[in-house]
Structure 1
Amino acid sequence: MSELEVPITDIENFIYCLEVVPDADHDETTEVLKILEDVAFNQNIASIYKACDTIEGLEQSIDNLLYNDHNFNDYEIIYLVLPGEANNILINGYYYSIEEIAELFEGKMEGKVIHFANKKILDLTDDESQYFLDVTGARAISGYGFHSEQMTSAFTIDRVFFSLFYKNDDLREVVEQMFNKHYKLCKLLDFRLYY
């Protein structure tokens, strides 16, 4: 695969990443964590990473971010690396709908961009996306229509999306730049943005 052209940001920016793992108590460096470390070093985008293995752990991680991290306003992207099927996430053997996730994040994501890695398909109707945005307060929700264990978006296009977003706050222009520079990859993974 050819090397991705990833823009470098001029100022430090932040991503809050939640990844579902089989056992959050098992201290393991996941591939996603390695990628986030590389993004911090090479793209000047810092991140807070939390692993969770239950829906309660996911909710607690969001609450800790909201109520205990005084830099919450600096995190414009909430990066969710969650397995599942179309519009459902799978945690600890249980499926949760996108509506349940919206209610879990109710009013907590004001102005944030919620970005799903391609471990699950994101295929929302206009009504579903509007419900998610209205309930959470998020500015946008993004993800992919193509799921692949072999080609994870974390290795490829997610890092481009993060850099472009922090260089340009206009989401339409960010998506346009992504498709202009990485059309084949955006089409292959079926990048989607709802706002």
Structure 2
Amino acid sequence: MAPVDGFVAALAANAGRGLRRWADEGADPQQCALIYVAHSLPESFIKRGDPYLSQTRATVSAVHERVRAALDATGHAAWLARLPGGPVPLLAFQSKVGPIKWLGPEITAETRRLAGAGCRRLLVQPVSFTCEHIETLHELDLELRREAEELGVREFDRGAALNLDETWLASLAARLAGDPFRAEAALD
């Protein structure tokens, strides 16, 4: 299934704003990083055929391509290419619970890795949450921020969840208006 276009556009706008600001300021891209973060799932779900991982990767790829195009349009394509990961988006997962194997890398481990490699500005963009809640407001804004700062990250920024973003809501409304009684109309 292809990601919903308005969903992708809204997430890309959120992530792009933070990166454009850093690029405009002349920040060293080797000290900046963008991590897309999604809710984790047990790996056993994926092995049994759950499409979540492939759908999440497709969404992140589509979002990152829009971010790349937007930065290219403002003359910052070379800057983006020098970020850790370069043209390949970094995806990490959060909210693992229990002893079973979950999707990774885990967001705190990825933050540790990037900080250890010299990252001093970190932008985290949630891609699997359509509204703010405890996993964005507490796990990312408080817990991850605290850990990142302890590791030497001087600027921690989190792209907003979509909430009432007009692009996202207009896209969702248009999809639902097309066939409101078919669940797959809102999901493909």
Note whether the superposition's TM-score is higher than 0.5. no
More strand by share: 1
Larger relative CO (CA 8 A, sep 6+): 1 or 2?
A: 2
More helix by share: 2
Question: TM-score band (shorter)?
Answer: 0.3 to 0.5
Q: TM-score, normalised by structure 1?
A: 0.31
- When Rg is computed on C-alpha atoms for both structures, the one with the higher figure is 2
Q: TM-score, normalised by structure 2?
A: 0.32
